Structure 1
Amino acid sequence: MKEIDARGLKCPEPVIMTKKALEALEEGVVLSIVDNITAKENVSRLAANLNLGYEIEEKDGCFYISINKVKDDKQNINAKTNDDIAIVITTDKLGSGNDELGKVLMKSYLYALTESSPMPKSMMFLNGGVKLTTEGAEALDNLVKLSEAGVEIVSCGTCLDFYGLKEKLKVGVVGNMYSIVEKMNAAGKVINIG
């Protein structure tokens, strides 16, 4: 049995820790301990999405989620293949509403992406999204991790010029709209954030 103590951690950390433990385990039980309902639901959803049996026990204000991984050829959570996914990000915030919350959510999204599988083949940053790839961006370290893992990071040159940020680009390359359109057209799946 592998125990994951994720008490006091904010999402998506409990899910990522649990997923990594499951990936490292050929078969057996992962016990994930969380202390809030959101984490309990997210870890349970991970188990359900992976078609793994799980049980939840609540005691002393914590949730003990036992996930049973059985060796099965049909399970493929260790797949790291790149599914030709392209992500287009057009803003430095995730969602609409409060801008500060939007920035926190974007940072959390980019962190979760560093821990996901499969990772995208490419990420393209347009309009205000280019602010994420430049000096001083709060989530820059996550984009660097993605780039080091082989994700192609492309920032729109026109957009960098518009915001006066071309000299402050810290990750990836400067692209043009033609190259961005080509990458989008070649992708099997395009996810638009913005």
Structure 2
Amino acid sequence: MIREINNRGLACPQPVINTKRALEEIDQGTVVSIVDNEIAFENVKRFAENAGYEINTKEKNGEYYITIIKGEGTGPVEVVSTSCETTSVVYLITSNTFGNGAEDLGETLMISFFNSLLEKNPPRMIMLVNSGVRLAIQQSRVLEQFSKLVAKGTEVIACGTCLDYYKLKDQLAVGRTTNMLEILENMTGGDKVITI
């Protein structure tokens, strides 16, 4: 059984949600998720890989076809971190400044925050949304700190919709793009979530 899911023209996380629902509706078979932008392609592909499904991908005329095979012994699986160095803390950073008020003070405080964070056990993940995505681009004043945290085992994910909104998609220098579904899953997954 092959089922095609037309996700053309849809912004994330809708292609991921549609694909996930289609897979939940079948016991075995193949789902082909069709998307027409690179962010949706990466997010659907990552979802399928993380869930333990067998996948194949191809691009044709600017459209991406993600073929996901659900059979006996494939997905969904629980993803368990094997890193012993990180703690089960997730930071949700919603702005490129720390606190409200003077922007230059907020930028200074954010640099101080990241310098201080390097002195602690690194968090499991840092999620960047809204103007927080500016912290992970090439011109960021905390790029060096982010790189050190990644080297210590912290995963950095940045909202793809936010990067698109600020026209920064091509400037992401650390971490990877994500969608609201993955952000929500990490917010409700049992880790301690700290919002800044």
In structure 2, C-alpha distance between the alignment counterparts of 1:165 and 1:103, rounded to whole Å? 19
In structure 2, C-alpha distance between the alignment counterparts of 1:186 and 1:156, rounded to whole Å? 18
147-156 or 108-117, which deviates more:
108-117
In structure 2, C-alpha distance between the alignment counterparts of 1:188 and 1:168, rounded to whole Å? 29
Amino acid at match of 1:104: T
CA-CA distance at 1:114 after TM superposition: 1.3
TM-score between the two structures when normalised by the length of structure 2: 0.56
Q: Could you say what secondary structure the match of 1:135 adopts?
A: coil
Match status 1:153 vs 2:127: no
Match status 1:88 vs 2:88: no
Which residue of 1 is the match for residue 173 of structure 2? Answer: 170
Gaps of 5+ in 1: 1-79
Count of residues paired in the alignment? 113
Closer, same or farther: CA 89–180 of 1 in aligned 2, 3 Å:
same
Match status 1:123 vs 2:126: yes
TM-score between the two structures when normalised by the length of structure 1: 0.56
Amino acid at match of 1:93: T
Q: CA RMSD in A?
A: 1.2
Equivalent residues of 1:85, 1:121 under 8 A apart: yes
Which residue of 2 is the match for residue 110 of structure 1? Answer: 114
Amino acid at match of 1:135: Q
Residues 31-46 of structure 1: matches in 2 within 5 Å? none
Gaps of 5+ in 2: 1-83
In structure 2, C-alpha distance between the alignment counterparts of 1:188 and 1:137, rounded to whole Å? 27
Equivalent residues of 2:86, 2:153 under 8 A apart: no
Q: Could you say what secondary structure the match of 2:194 adopts?
A: strand
CA-CA distance at 1:81 after TM superposition: 4.9
Match status 1:188 vs 2:191: yes
In structure 2, C-alpha distance between the alignment counterparts of 1:146 and 1:111, rounded to whole Å? 10
In structure 2, C-alpha distance between the alignment counterparts of 1:92 and 1:172, rounded to whole Å? 16
Which residue of 2 is the match for residue 97 of structure 1? Answer: 101
Deviations for 1:123-151, whole angstroms, at most 9, x for unmatched residues?
A: 00000000000010111110111111110
CA-CA distance at 1:187 after TM superposition: 3.7
Deviations for 1:43-101, whole angstroms, at most 9, x for unmatched residues?
A: xxxxxxxxxxxxxxxxxxxxxxxxxxxxxxxxxxxxx7533110000000001111101
Amino acid at match of 1:154: I
Equivalent residues of 2:85, 2:152 under 8 A apart: no
In structure 2, C-alpha distance between the alignment counterparts of 1:106 and 1:146, rounded to whole Å? 15
In structure 2, C-alpha distance between the alignment counterparts of 1:187 and 1:149, rounded to whole Å? 21
Equivalent residues of 1:86, 1:187 under 8 A apart: no
In structure 1, C-alpha distance between the alignment counterparts of 2:152 and 2:85, rounded to whole Å? 12
Which residue of 2 is the match for residue 42 of structure 1? Answer: none
| Higher CA-based Rg | 1
Identity %: 38
Closer, same or farther: CA 110–187 of 1 in aligned 2, 3 Å:
farther
Which residue of 1 is the match for residue 59 of structure 2? Answer: none
